[in-house]
Amino acid sequence: MIIELTKRQEQIIEIVKSEGPITGEHIAERLSLTRATLRPDLAILTMSGFLDARPRVGYFYTGKDSNQLIKEQVNKKIVKDYKAQPIVISESSSVYDGICTLFLEDVGTLFVVNNMGHLAGVVSRKDLLRAALGKQNLTDIPISIIMTRMPNIITCTAEESLLEAAKKLIDYQIDSLPVVRAVQNGNRTVFEVIGRVTKTTITKGFVEFGNEVTI
Ligand code: ADP
């Protein structure tokens, strides 16, 4: 979390910038305050990353400004902590099944898995709409025919930053990414679907971040 700095905290940063490494005792002397009075300020400044403290050496300036600290905080947001449940459908399902699942689960994208449970494709609402425009009976069209299939699926991992995932949504102009875990199947790498990142996920992360930062 990044906190709005008080005048005194700004003064401490200036002292540490020019005189660091400097002990808490000496900073207190320079400000004609007691060490105890300064303790909360020093705690805030080290927690938020402006200062660093080394035992027996003292405080020193990290050289990071607010922008850098905000950037670090943004990059700390990881897919794992925000991902939603993936909604998957079997490759052998019909387009009709897909449309029903989309409504029942209240999502915009379905992840299609093969009989081993591995990611085979993605079906979006427009894929389903397009299929529904035809004259064919929707129960007769396998979803595997209309899906975007592997290896053309854009994915992310649980360890990736939310920012990287958001960039993929923008770069590839898609609404959702399957969060995957790679597993070896013989000499082939296949993917298990363990989550879902959507524009809603990113928006939630953004709102949470906005509530944390008070600079
Ligand atoms: P829609 O256009 O239905 O609002 P998208 O923008 O997500 O939804 O999908 C656009 C196209 O991209 C669709 O054909 C869909 O199959 C495909 N698509 C969606 N998500 C992915 C993904 N993660 N990787 C590759 N292709 C995708």
Angle (CA) 89-190-117 rounded to 5° is 30
Question: Would you say the CB of residue 152 lies under 6 angstroms from ligand 1?
Answer: yes
Token code pair at residue 9: 């905290």
Say what the pLDDT of residue 120 is.
Answer: 98
> How many Å lie between the centroid of ligand 1 and the Cα of residue 75?
25
Residue bearing the CA closest to ligand 1, atom 2: 126
Q: Look at domain 7-70 and name its CATH class.
A: mainly alpha
CATH for 79-207? 3.10.580.10
Q: In what helix (H) or strand (E) does residue 27 lie, and over which residues does it extend?
A: helix 24-30
Mean pLDDT (whole number) for 128-144:
95
Q: 49: closest CA among 19, 13, 6?
A: 13
Could you read off the pLDDT of 46-100 as tens digits, one per residue?
Answer: 988 889 999 888 999 988 877 888 888 888 999 999 999 999 999 999 999 999 9
Atom number of ligand 1 nearest to Cα 127: 14
Write the DSSP assignment of 79-104 as a string of letters.
GGGTPBPP-EEETT-BHHHHHHHHHH
Atom number of ligand 1 nearest to Cα 123: 16
Question: Would you say the CB of residue 197 lies under 6 angstroms from ligand 1?
Answer: no
- Mutation test of ligand 1: which of 124, 173, 201 has the most ligand atoms closer than 8 Å to its C-beta? 124
Say what the pLDDT of residue 135 is.
Answer: 87
Give the HSE-up count for residue 18: Cα atoms under 13 Å, Cβ half-sphere. Answer: 7
Angle (CA) 114-119-120 rounded to 5° is 60
Q: 121: closest CA among 69, 188, 176, 62?
A: 176
Token code pair at residue 212: 């944390």
> How many Å lie between the centroid of ligand 1 and the Cα of residue 81?
23
Domain ranges across the chain: 7-70, 79-207
